[in-house]
Structure formats: structure tokens, C-alpha cells
Amino acid sequence: MEANTYKSYGGYLVDKYSYSDNPPETIGWSTTATDLGFVDGTGYQSPDIICHKEGKPGALSAEVAAGGEIELQWTEWPESHHGPVLNYLAPCGGDCSAVDKASLEFFKIEAQGLIDGSSPPGHWATDDLISNNNSWTVTIPASVQEGNYVLRHEIIGLHSAGQKDGAQNYPQCINIKVTGGGDATPAGTAGEALYKDTDPGILFDIYSDLSDGYPIPGPEVFSA
């Protein structure tokens, strides 16, 4: 059998590249979130929620076969920042390095939230991410058409989400080129229409009774 081959790509290191006169070209979108901060509910209808604060497209794209996996590596994630991990795709309709982010329409390809709510604040997708060396693996649906896409990978920290605008969204975008695939063209949602700050999965108290589970916010996951 032939061994699987993996290729590694560097992302946009905001705390390093933002202060460089000549940062390297990456697949990751740049952002001005130099405080490693978040977008809260007051920014859900602003461009910042699309690909983080003042996000601009990366110059490069990573190639991945439809049905293949992408492993996303985070720096250290705080254990207290419990919440869901969500992944979206949006077709660029051309070269992603020149795409207008406001034109992107995202369809959700994967999401995990509350794993075990028997004892608040519960065991969450973020806890699995931490235990997996601060990484997350997402599979690109085999049925989507080949072409250029923006992968929007997001963690929502719910540790302060019991109060309005307390949820913390950390969206990260990368450019990918999907090869192979099928003929599926899922309907998408503009980034500025993904969430409202009163959505049940956004305004959510993780320190209360979790026996009813957790309603993951945003559109439903695309089902091939």
C-alpha cells in the first residue's frame, strides 16, 4: 500500500507578521487582531466576523482532494474557554487571493459542541482540541465541486456567554484548492448573517443545567 502523504503550510502568525515590513505569503488570511482577541456579538453584522478583524485574503492556497483531511494547528488554547468548533466552506468563484470577503457565502461542513453535559460546565469540543495537541481535523466533503474555497475555521468561547454579547468568536480563514469531488454546490450564508447575539447557542450559560444539550449556532451542517 502507498503511504498517505501530507503537506504542511504555515498560517498567518498575527503576533509576529503584523509587525513585519515583509511578512511571508501564506494560505492564512491576515488580521489586525494582534491582541489574539475575538469578535463578540456587537460585531456579528460587521465584516470582522467573516475572517476576523480586518481580515484580508492570503496569497497562497493549499491543495486538498475532496474527501481528504485538513489538520489545523492552534497555539495553546485556554482550558476555561469551553465551546464549539465549527468549520465552513465558501467558494471563491475565482482566485481566493483576490476575493471580496463580503461576497463569500459559507456552508457549514462540520461542527461539534457539547460532548458531555453531565457536570457543568461540561466537556466540549474545545477540550478535545486541547487534548489533541491543540489541533483539529476536518474532512472536506467528497461531494463538493472542485475549485477554490475559503475554509472558515472557528472556535466560539462560551465562558462568558451567559450574558448578552459575552460569547467570544475566534474565526480563522485559509485558502484551499479542492481537487476531484462531485457536483454538489450547497447553498451558503454570508458571514455577516451567520449569527445573531440572541441565538440560543450564542447566549448560553455553560454553568447551568446542561441536560438539554447545546444548540450549535449558525446554519445546519451540509449533508451530502
Model confidence pLDDT, tens digit, residues 83-132: 999 999 999 999 999 999 999 999 999 999 999 999 999 999 999 999 99
- State the pLDDT at residue 146: 97
Greater confidence (35 vs 1) lies with 35
Rounded mean pLDDT of 200-219?
A: 98
- State the pLDDT at residue 34: 84
Model confidence pLDDT, tens digit, residues 128-168: 999 999 999 999 999 999 999 999 999 999 999 999 999 99
Chain-wide mean pLDDT for the chain?
95
Contact criterion met (CB below 8 Å) for 159 and 84: no
- State the pLDDT at residue 15: 83
> Cα(204)–Cα(215) distance, rounded to whole angstroms?
9
- State the pLDDT at residue 2: 44
Query: Domains in the chain, ordered, with CATH?
Result: 27-193 (2.70.50.70)
% of the chain with per-residue pLDDT over 70:
97
> Which three three-digit cell numbers place residue 69?
483531511
pTM over 0.85: yes
HEC string of the chain equals CCCCCCCCCCCCCHHHHCCCCCCCCCCECECCCCCCCCECHHHCCCCHHHHCCCCECCCCCEEEECCCEEEEECCCCCCCCCCCEEEEEEECCCCHHHCCHHHCEEEEEEEECEEECCCCCCEEHHHHHHHCCCEEEEECCCCECCEEEEEEEEEEECCCCCCCCCCEEEEEEEEEEEECCCCECCCCEEHHHCCCCCCCCCCCCCCCCCCCCCCCCCCCECCC
Residues in the chain: 224
- State the pLDDT at residue 6: 79
